[in-house]
Amino acid sequence: MTETATRRPRRPLLPTLGDGTGPVLAVLAVVLVALAFVGPAYSEPAGYLALLKRAAPLMILALGQYFVIVSGGFDLSVGSLVTAEVVIAARLLDGDEAATAWVIPLLLVLGALVGLVNGLVTTRLLVPSFIVTLGMLLVLDGAVFLWTGGAPQGALSEAFRVVGREGFEMPLLGQVPWSVLLLAVLVVAAVVFLRGGTGRLLVAVGDNETAVRLGGGGVEGLRTLAFVLSGISAAIAAILLGGFAGVSAQVGDGLEFQVITAVVLGGVVLGGGRGSVVAAVAGALTLEALFSLLNLLGVSGGLESAVQGVIIIAAVAYAAVGRSKFRTRRTA
């Protein structure tokens, strides 16, 4: 056997258009062009940078949600976790700049712990992730309400808010938000992770759990890892949202449905096994850009929920048809 025949093909670091990224990028391009025609602010790079700044928290949430969905689960707790993290940060900081250095790591640990609980209950007690994370959503919402009475106390420090609302100067582009730089770093890290052995196994769990088990892969550990990554992404999104929007007991309301919509808009198949992390992030940006376009056109905000509902129903139907065709080919 020749050296050429035995050499393993190298995987490209960046995804190709054949992995499902192409369609969502095409939709995103159309929406961005429409924004340039409708909104005067989008005639310059600053308008699109502002869009990225607004979308960065949702895009980071999409990173975490991607890992959960592609491994075959759901995480409905991320919105309430974002709210809890912002409220806790304000209470612990109370405007103290020196406390920022330990509060931010604490928030990341808290996000990881919530994800760990979701993962362990799902994998060890065999409770469906939809039910587990819905329960966690209610627990966190109730805890925040009991602690704050609906009115958060304390204040975020200026150092805490820097990443969410400030940036750095670049020639031609002007001020580039720190949140956009952080987003870029996280996306690259996620792509590199998915090119490694653990990342490929995580995707394989959603596609064929039995094959992973027979191959010696730890299915429970991989799925738990996905929830932990989702919890950490929610903590990072909370830090950005706190910096950008300030303290509110409703800051994370509805984010769990927005991020699921964004991920499926990016072509990630519900039920797991297929989808690109870059497409999931692009889906989040597309959703934010679409909402901005509707707002500029004067369309009622209530249509946003309708759009999300249509996307989710269409994604579920598409996944069901795909599974049906797969079963038909196997039995033929």
Domain locations along the chain: 45-150+172-322
What does the alpha-carbon distance between residue 164 and residue 170 come to, in Å, rounded to a whole number? 18
pLDDT value of residue 7? 44
Quick one: DSSP state of residue 268? P
pLDDT, tens digit, for every residue of 4-56?
333 444 444 444 444 567 888 888 999 999 998 987 888 888 889 999 999 99
Contact 238, 252 (CB under 8 A): yes
Angle, helix 100-124 to helix 78-93, in steps of 10 degrees: 150
What does the alpha-carbon distance between residue 151 and residue 185 come to, in Å, rounded to a whole number? 34
Tokens at 236, concatenated? 């990072």
What does the alpha-carbon distance between residue 81 and residue 231 come to, in Å, rounded to a whole number? 8
Contact 287, 258 (CB under 8 A): yes
The model's confidence at residue 84, banded by pLDDT at 50, 70 and 90, is very high
pTM over 0.85: yes
What does the alpha-carbon distance between residue 65 and residue 42 come to, in Å, rounded to a whole number? 29
Rg of the chain over Cα atoms, rounded to whole angstroms, equals 20
Residue type, 170: M
Phi, psi of 169 (to 5 degrees): -85, 140
Contact 63, 123 (CB under 8 A): no
Mean pLDDT value of segment 53-61: 95
pLDDT, tens digit, for every residue of 277-322?
999 999 999 999 988 888 888 876 677 778 778 877 876 676 666 5
Q: Which residue has the higher pLDDT, 71 or 167?
A: 71
Average pLDDT in the chain: 85
pLDDT value of residue 17? 42
b/e sequence 117-147, b meaning 16+ C-beta within 10 Å: bbbbbbbeeeeebeebbbebbeebbeebeee
